[in-house]
Structure 1
Amino acid sequence: MPSVEILSRVQFAFTIAFHYIYPPLSIGLGLCLVIMEGLYLKTGKLLYKEITKFWIKIFALIFGIGVATGIVMEFEFGTNWATYSHYVGDIFGSALAAEGIFAFAMESAFLGVLLFGWDRVHKAVHYFSTIMVAFGSALSALWIVIANSWQQTPAGYRIEGHALGARAVVTDFWEMVYNPSSIDRYAHVIIGSFLAGSFLVMSVAAWYILKKRFEAHAQAMFKVGLSVAVIAALMQLFTGHRSAHYVSKYQPAKLAAMEGHYDSLSVADMYIVGWVNNKTETTTGIKIPGGLSFLTHGSFSAPVEGLRATPPQDRPGAVNFVFQTYHIMISIGVTLIGLTLLALLLLWKKKLFEQRWLMIIFAWAVLLPQIANQMGWYAAEVGRQPWVVYKLLRTSDALSRKVTADQVMFSLILFTLVYVLLFALFLYLLNRKIQHGPDISGSKRDDDHDQYYPNNLENLPA
């Protein structure tokens, strides 16, 4: 049987990966809701109200599943990672308390108005609630990313105690919040979330267009999703570069693993695709000579610190895994840029919704941002190993001392069964809502029908 450390890492990776399906969707969908309802208030067209109400129902489903799956991880900190919890309790306690007070409570409160406030509160009040729900979901992610980023680049702390009783204590709250990587990592995460939510909107809209159902609604949905996705996809180039730059400065071993770079005395190539052999310390594949040197230092001839500069016991063990997940994320990011720009060009030419092949691609493309988000987190977390808190606490020293491998294996099996059932329930409910579609309350209106459902769909605001 695998060791307690391996099983505990697998269990936490599984539970957090499953949970991480939902927060990016809710963050991205929240922004789309703000745009949809804003269009309703601006134009007065009932169509925008109907698609907003449709997506609010899906948002509520995603929010509920996200909350349920997030609770499990907090218990794992105490059961499997007690030493870690003791060590970072002061740091994580501050960030998670701020998340609960300033973000989650606000998001939950305004969600009630968002769901049940239609025709009960003023339009402006309801729209304000929509904005606050979207803002609350993004703010919640901020505090979680701050807590995680502190593990990558610790700041604003001191160590009290020694050996297994040591713990990190906050000395400067704002220095802890604005640790060297928190803002760049948050920007990268939030843009990835916008992509996840907007591609969900476009996927459902594309499916409706293919099935010739709710076509006016679907085209309006798609345009909203595309407006978010095209900007987010391009911005991800900038945030991704910024994130890689901080990694090169503060975690050079992680960057070296991401690019399979071992030799510190030579320039660093940037691989398009490749394979890393950690035993022979070689990387083969298609590469841009000196590409990593240029991106890191602005020169194709500048040396970049390689893995050999780090003692073997302090390097990431699964170098090829870090390399592959990192490159999958980048490949998907480039693909999303191409897809969104192509769709924008066809929309400008008024030919977008005639391209059945492209609608099929967008119907399935909802998976791409999710895969990219997962791969990015895997690269970041596995690339930090063997440290759970970089250069301060090793993963092997962060475990609970009383938990056995059998216990972790048993709970892992139970979690897997529960999460499979929960995911099946989520897909079932999501499919029911999509199959039902928007409630078209104004479709039978005879007076001023074009005000609600324009005959010329190309005149819908982009």
Structure 2
Amino acid sequence: MDVEIIARIQFAFTVAFHYIYPPLSIGLGLLMVIMESLFLYTKNKEYEILARFWTKIFALTFGIGVVTGIVMEFEFGTNWATYSKYVGDIFGSALAAEGIFAFALESGFLGILIFGWNRVKPWVHLVSTIGVFLGSLFSAVWIVVANSWQQTPAGYKIVGEGMHARAEITDFWEMVFNPSSVDRLTHVWIGAFLAGAFLVLSVHAFYLLKNRHVEVSKKAMKIALVVAAVFSLGQLFTGHHSAEGVAKNQPAKLAALEGHFEASAPADMYLFGWVDKEKQEVTGVKVPGGLSLLLHGDQESNVTGLNAFPEDERPSQVNAVFQFYHIMVAIGMLLIVLSLVGIWAWWRGRLFTSKWLLIAFALAVILPQIANQAGWFAAEMGRQPWVVYGLLRTSDAFSQAVSANQIVFSLVLFFIVYLILFLLFIYLLTKKIKHGPYDPKEETVRPNQKEMAHLFESKK
């Protein structure tokens, strides 16, 4: 099998598995800050119980995320030696900044966050929670900056020629604020907030369906629902702005995302469909001139299509890029609808009594994860055949000394180890959820409303 394809599959597998956990950590970090802040403000013990409970789950996701992220750095050196040499100056600066400004902050406060309950003052513990949350945000900053530079290179010069060529930074801040970094960063942050919010909604909707931990679950759902509603709507705007940036800086990618082939013509917007690359047709439901309208405010405006680019300079897997992109968009719209329906049910006093809505929230935990993965696949596959857009081809970036058999062997080993880690994560997460938010020393038997009514009637 082709070494390039196997190396790409291995990296995609490791990154996709790793990307389950950092968004959860970032999203849960925001919710922990809110819960703990509400405890300090209201002195309501139930907010502290929620903050303690979700801190335990945060620690679990953080630990798995760190372990699974280390592997990718080794893959740069083993499977992608030419790439590592080419972007080493750029990535070295960004990853060093992550270690100094993000990981040090996050890990420095992590001990207080996890073990500081009842050992430090409440406001000190809140500061540690905020520190860990900010550390996770800053970590995302530098990873997204490094990846965005691959999409839209800026602030660099090329030194050397041929196999000895490499990119060097000429302007650090121009590299950091490259044309796509801010749009992509806000999009990633909001995706993470939604992943955390819908995990909290799912767990506490499950508790309400089982009539367990009712009061704390109501409070947790209100917090998570507000976060979900605000950021699901926010994601709509960041996504649109990001698409405008792609149209300007990576027109071939945008054409693949939307299945637009004509070199220069008004472009439809497909709600869903199937791309036939050979016939250069898309079969599906569309809004005529919708893409032109979104990009230029005019349904008759021309949009650059795939045929404007040589075949070896545009994505080859057009249908896959199209499908991943539309899966992300469809889930984003579904999350908006679900969040707003939840807000409406809350306003009507039916949020905690509507069984179908609680079931929907309990099952919706998987949706942000699918959207995050699909968005990443669309972005990376849409950049092909470039690993650094317009500068370095993917076919020139992998290690020539590594054989396909070696990569397959390591891929099988990674699959086994990651499967064990995933099963361990699911087991520990399920165990914590089944246990509930109360510690054994603090947990009391809280009668539900039916039991309270029966007790009252018997006393009468």
TM-score over 0.5 (shorter chain): yes
2:378 is aligned with what amino acid?
A: A
Pairing 1:152–2:151 present: yes
**Structure-1 residue corresponding to 2:114:** 115
SS of alignment partner, residue 279 of structure 2:
coil
Q: Tell me by how many angstroms 1:121 deviates.
A: 1.1
**Structure-1 residue corresponding to 2:76:** 77
The answer as to whether partners of 2:264 and 2:308 remain within 8 angstroms in 1 is no
Q: How does 1:353-392 map to 2 (within 5 A)?
A: 353-392=352-391
Q: Tell me by how many angstroms 1:264 deviates.
A: 2.6
Provide the C-alpha distance between the structure 2 equivalents of 1:140 and 1:200, rounded to a whole number of angstroms.
21
**Structure-2 residue corresponding to 1:173:** 172
**Structure-2 residue corresponding to 1:131:** 130
Residues 371-422 of structure 1 deviation map (CA, whole Å, 9 limit, x = unaligned)? 0000000000000000000000000000111100000111111111111111
Provide the C-alpha distance between the structure 2 equivalents of 1:333 and 1:266, rounded to a whole number of angstroms.
28
The answer as to whether partners of 1:195 and 1:232 remain within 8 angstroms in 2 is yes
Residues 77-136 of structure 1 deviation map (CA, whole Å, 9 limit, x = unaligned)? 000000000000000000000001100111011011111111211111111111111111
SS of alignment partner, residue 180 of structure 1:
coil
Q: How does 1:286-435 map to 2 (within 5 A)?
A: 286-435=285-434
Provide the C-alpha distance between the structure 1 equivalents of 2:43 and 2:366, rounded to a whole number of angstroms.
34
Q: Tell me by how many angstroms 1:17 deviates.
A: 0.2
**Structure-1 residue corresponding to 2:458:** none
The answer as to whether partners of 2:156 and 2:170 remain within 8 angstroms in 1 is yes
Residues 190-249 of structure 1 deviation map (CA, whole Å, 9 limit, x = unaligned)? 000000000000000011011111111111111111111000000001000011000000
Q: Compare 263-272 and 335-344 and name the one that shifted more.
A: 263-272
Pairing 1:164–2:163 present: yes
**Structure-2 residue corresponding to 1:460:** none
The answer as to whether partners of 1:46 and 1:442 remain within 8 angstroms in 2 is no
Provide the C-alpha distance between the structure 1 equivalents of 2:180 and 2:344, rounded to a whole number of angstroms.
36
**Structure-2 residue corresponding to 1:54:** 53
The answer as to whether partners of 1:5 and 1:399 remain within 8 angstroms in 2 is yes
2:336 is aligned with what amino acid?
A: I
Provide the C-alpha distance between the structure 2 equivalents of 1:231 and 1:317, rounded to a whole number of angstroms.
37
Provide the C-alpha distance between the structure 2 equivalents of 1:444 and 1:154, rounded to a whole number of angstroms.
58
Provide the C-alpha distance between the structure 1 equivalents of 2:416 and 2:445, rounded to a whole number of angstroms.
49
1:184 is aligned with what amino acid?
A: D
1:222 is aligned with what amino acid?
A: M
Q: Tell me by how many angstroms 1:266 deviates.
A: 1.9
Provide the C-alpha distance between the structure 2 equivalents of 1:242 and 1:198, rounded to a whole number of angstroms.
23
For structure 2, list consecutive stretches of 5 or more residues without a partner in the other structure: 447-452, 454-460
SS of alignment partner, residue 155 of structure 1:
coil
Provide the C-alpha distance between the structure 1 equivalents of 2:281 and 2:444, rounded to a whole number of angstroms.
68
**Structure-1 residue corresponding to 2:456:** none
Provide the C-alpha distance between the structure 2 equivalents of 1:338 and 1:445, rounded to a whole number of angstroms.
37
The answer as to whether partners of 1:253 and 1:310 remain within 8 angstroms in 2 is yes
Provide the C-alpha distance between the structure 2 equivalents of 1:336 and 1:91, rounded to a whole number of angstroms.
36
1:75 is aligned with what amino acid?
A: F
Q: How does 1:256-275 map to 2 (within 5 A)?
A: 256-275=255-274
Instruction: Report the count of equivalent residues.
Output: 446
1:355 is aligned with what amino acid?
A: S
1:429 is aligned with what amino acid?
A: L
Pairing 1:252–2:227 present: no
SS of alignment partner, residue 266 of structure 1:
strand
Provide the C-alpha distance between the structure 2 equivalents of 1:211 and 1:303, rounded to a whole number of angstroms.
55
Q: How does 1:201-240 map to 2 (within 5 A)?
A: 201-240=200-239
| Alignment root-mean-square deviation, CA | 1.3
Provide the C-alpha distance between the structure 2 equivalents of 1:265 and 1:36, rounded to a whole number of angstroms.
52
Provide the C-alpha distance between the structure 2 equivalents of 1:49 and 1:74, rounded to a whole number of angstroms.
38
The answer as to whether partners of 1:202 and 1:363 remain within 8 angstroms in 2 is yes
Provide the C-alpha distance between the structure 1 equivalents of 2:99 and 2:264, rounded to a whole number of angstroms.
48
Provide the C-alpha distance between the structure 2 equivalents of 1:266 and 1:432, rounded to a whole number of angstroms.
56
Question: Normalising by structure 2, what TM-score?
Answer: 0.96
Q: Compare 85-94 and 412-421 and name the one that shifted more.
A: 412-421
Provide the C-alpha distance between the structure 2 equivalents of 1:315 and 1:444, rounded to a whole number of angstroms.
62
Calculate percent identity across the aligned residue pairs.
62
SS of alignment partner, residue 352 of structure 2:
helix
Cα distance 1:444–1:422, how it changes in 2: closer, same or farther (>3 A)?
closer
Provide the C-alpha distance between the structure 2 equivalents of 1:114 and 1:348, rounded to a whole number of angstroms.
34
SS of alignment partner, residue 299 of structure 1:
coil
**Structure-1 residue corresponding to 2:35:** 36
**Structure-2 residue corresponding to 1:11:** 10
Provide the C-alpha distance between the structure 2 equivalents of 1:265 and 1:88, rounded to a whole number of angstroms.
34
Provide the C-alpha distance between the structure 2 equivalents of 1:101 and 1:41, rounded to a whole number of angstroms.
30
SS of alignment partner, residue 168 of structure 2:
strand
SS of alignment partner, residue 439 of structure 1:
coil
Provide the C-alpha distance between the structure 2 equivalents of 1:239 and 1:165, rounded to a whole number of angstroms.
38
Structure 1 residue ranges, 4+ long, deviating more than 6 angstroms after superposition? none
SS of alignment partner, residue 169 of structure 1:
strand
Pairing 1:90–2:95 present: no
2:37 is aligned with what amino acid?
A: G
Question: Normalising by structure 1, what TM-score?
Answer: 0.95
Residues 240-274 of structure 1 deviation map (CA, whole Å, 9 limit, x = unaligned)? 00110000000000000000000133200000011
For structure 1, list consecutive stretches of 5 or more residues without a partner in the other structure: 447-454, 456-462
SS of alignment partner, residue 430 of structure 1:
helix
SS of alignment partner, residue 304 of structure 2:
coil
